[in-house]
Amino acid sequence: MAKVSFRGVSKVFGKDVRAVDNLDLEIRDGEFMVLVGPSGCGKTTALRMIAGLEEATSGDLVIAENRVNDVPPKDRDIAMVFQNYALYPHMTVYDNIAFGLRLRELKGTLWQLTHLGDARQIRLDIDRRVRETAAMLGIDGLLARRPKELSGGQRQRVALGRAIVRKPKVFLMDEPLSNLDAKLRIQTRAELIRLHRDLGVTTIYVTHDQVEAMTMGQRIAVMNNGVLQQCDEPETVYNKPANKFVAGFIGAPPMNFLNGTVNEGKIDVGPFRFGLPTAHPARSMEGQAVVLGVRPEDIYDTKNGVQVPVTEDNTFEAQVDVLEKLGAEDTAYLVAEGLNLIATLDPSSRVAAGTKSRFAVDLDKAHVFDAQSGHAIR
Ligand SMILES: Nc1ncnc2c1ncn2[C@@H]1O[C@H](COP(=O)(O)OP(=O)(O)OP(=O)(O)O)[C@@H](O)[C@H]1O
Ligand SMILES: [Mg+2]
């Protein structure tokens, strides 16, 4: 196990594609860290640099206090699981899992012939590890099958087994669940969390899926355009996003953004005015342009289960354009004086599509961002 650090790491492809831009990030010993961000933000590139498959243009990559920029991939003691894992089609599950170990630990035919005793011991050891790993992943009944005789999820577990069996210092996983159907993805997600808990191996997990990030990461590093936006525990990223990008990326349905101006302790948003909490620092930004951020679950139907006092300063009237009944909650698409908002409502709400209703916003939970920089004001 080991700590992994990016210290001022950049990767420039060609002349000017800054895939990763001055990344400073420390993954603690034994931590499950998720790198998340939209397509093309540099997640895979960051991972490949740690693995040694891509050379950093500048900065230091550090594993367990050792600078590894010049250490060949095979000596970094890292195991990678990719989205498109390739199993050897002609080998059984058993051999797929054992293959890398044999290659690594049984050093060539000549060595084996001259070290018969050692070689026998290593073979026994490999056999034990393969069986233990397969049992841990629930594929011990499949060891004699070939990959084409397995389901997608079973194949995925074989690929994981191949990585786990090596007992590396660090696991790198690049969207390993994206080929699975929704149900299997949720199941395997839980298995991976359990596995990390049992093995305690430092893991860097890449995904563009914010739900995966929120549910799996002990901490989440959100990236955009090669730049780290925020690295924190999931609740912190959700409740205290550092900027508008993070606020909009994490959470579904996404946060509502309303462009406004600060006016006497309130925010003017077109025809509406929303009061700021008493001590909010945006109150001192008189006349300045800001963006008010409201999560869909912080908007209430004033006639049903409203969790905040209803006042002049936190309500607005809107037309319910579309109402999606999801069972546990309703998603309402609202239109108010040309503004579009999404609200997550309790299913017992009586609002109906095509009619007008009054809605209240929990402004204590609202976010304010600087209109220019996008930085959170708090
Ligand atoms: N070998 C390469 N040569 C040139 N540009 C590259 C190369 N690999 C990646 N890039 C560019 O670097 C940027 C980051 O790519 P990267 O693959 O790291 O993104 P990602 O966050 O993993 O995206 P995705 O979610 O789509 O996998 C992109 O703009 C991509 O086009
Ligand atoms: Mg990628």
Could you tell me the CATH number of the domain that includes residue 200? 3.40.50.300
Residue of the nearest CA to atom 28 in ligand 1?
40
In short, whether 55's Cβ falls inside 6 Å of ligand 1 is no
| Residue 43 covered by a domain | yes
| Residue 377 covered by a domain | no
In short, whether 357's Cβ falls inside 6 Å of ligand 1 is no
Are 211 and 237 members of one domain?
yes
**Closest Cα partner for 80 from 160, 2, 196?**
160
Domain boundaries, position 303: 254-370
Token output for 268:
């003017």
Q: Which atom of ligand 1 is nearest to the CA of 42?
A: 18
| Residue 376 covered by a domain | no
In short, whether 315's Cβ falls inside 6 Å of ligand 1 is no
Question: In the chain, how many domains are there?
Answer: 2
Ligand number with the minimum distance to the CA of 21: 1
Helix, strand, coil content of the chain in percent (nearest 5): 30, 35, 35
Using an 8 Å Cβ cutoff, are 157 and 138 in contact? yes
State the Cα–Cα distance between residues 6 and 4, nearest whole angstrom.
Answer: 7
Kindly give the parts of the chain with pLDDT less than 50. none
Ligand 1 pocket: which of 6, 11, 16, 17 to mutate (most atoms within 8 A of CB): 17
In short, whether 53's Cβ falls inside 6 Å of ligand 1 is no
Residue of the nearest CA to atom 30 in ligand 1?
40
Residue of the nearest CA to atom 16 in ligand 1?
42
Are 199 and 116 members of one domain?
yes
Are 10 and 130 members of one domain?
yes
| Residue 83 covered by a domain | yes
Q: Which atom of ligand 1 is nearest to the CA of 223?
A: 21
Are 121 and 234 members of one domain?
yes
State the Cα–Cα distance between residues 30 and 52, nearest whole angstrom.
Answer: 20
Model confidence pTM above 0.85: yes
Prior bond of 89 cis (ω within 30°): no
Are 214 and 76 members of one domain?
yes
Are 168 and 261 members of one domain?
no
Residue 39's pLDDT is what?
A: 95
Are 292 and 312 members of one domain?
yes
Residue of the nearest CA to atom 14 in ligand 1?
42
In short, whether 42's Cβ falls inside 6 Å of ligand 1 is yes
Are 361 and 312 members of one domain?
yes
In short, whether 168's Cβ falls inside 6 Å of ligand 1 is no
Residue 310's pLDDT is what?
A: 93
State the Cα–Cα distance between residues 376 and 370, nearest whole angstrom.
Answer: 6
Ligand 1 pocket: which of 9, 10, 13, 204 to mutate (most atoms within 8 A of CB): 13
Residue 108's pLDDT is what?
A: 81
Token output for 30:
């034994």
